[in-house]
Homo-oligomer: A and B are copies of this chain.
Amino acid sequence: MDKRTELIEIATKLFSERGFENTPLSIVCETANVSKGLIAHHFKSKNGLLREIFQRTTDLIVEMNTIDSVSLSARERLLQLLESFFSQLQSDKLFFQFNLNMMVQPSTREVLADLIEERSSFILKATRNIFDEIDPENSLVKSHLFIAELDGIALSYLGVYKEFPLEQTKEQLIMKYSMI
């Protein structure tokens, strides 16, 4: 594999597991069997590497939210969104760990400010598209609440509550949003 993309994959994993600040480049290099110089060459700096990784995860999110927006009712799209959220949450904890990390930590938030802004406004717009069809009057609040709900679930499931009942929560939510 391309050393460049290999570096990105390895750094993504390490940054997710250990946090950005707590992952020295030396460990990234060790794991990838490259020299520090190569990272400078490809990404200019540690921050540069981070920004590229974050951008890639944004691309992934955008992709997930745009493939299927055709010819489905709002409720169907909502349920599909829930499905993909929960399956992603189960299959790729690190993905959420990474994103939560970046959003919450002040130092990374600064580095990524513009990219975070871009991503979150996209997510809000996509969600609002759905709720506009369901309850145009309150679509803004309901979108925010929906997003917050999912983020909160990820937060609880990821680290705080080891015994978080993911399956039952999913059922609850699907029930709730089926009757909307």
Contacts and interface: CB of A to CB of B under 8 A. Distances in A.
B148 A152 contact: yes
Interface stretch (A18-26, A38-46, A52-60, A72-80): A18-26
Copies in the complex: 2
A83 interface: no
Q: Which 5 A-B residue pairs are closest in the complex by CB-CB distance?
A: A152-B152, A148-B152, A21-B21, A151-B152, A22-B107
Interface of A: 17-19, 21-22, 97, 100-101, 103-107, 109, 116, 120, 124, 138, 140-142, 144-145, 147-153, 155-156, 159-161, 164-165, 168-169, 172-173
Interface of A is mostly: helix
Given A21-B105, A120-B160, A149-B152, 19 more contacts: A18-B107, A19-B106, A21-B107, A22-B107, A103-B160, A124-B161, A141-B168, A141-B169, A141-B172, A144-B161, A145-B153, A145-B173, A147-B152, A147-B156, A148-B153, A148-B169, A149-B149, A151-B152, A152-B152
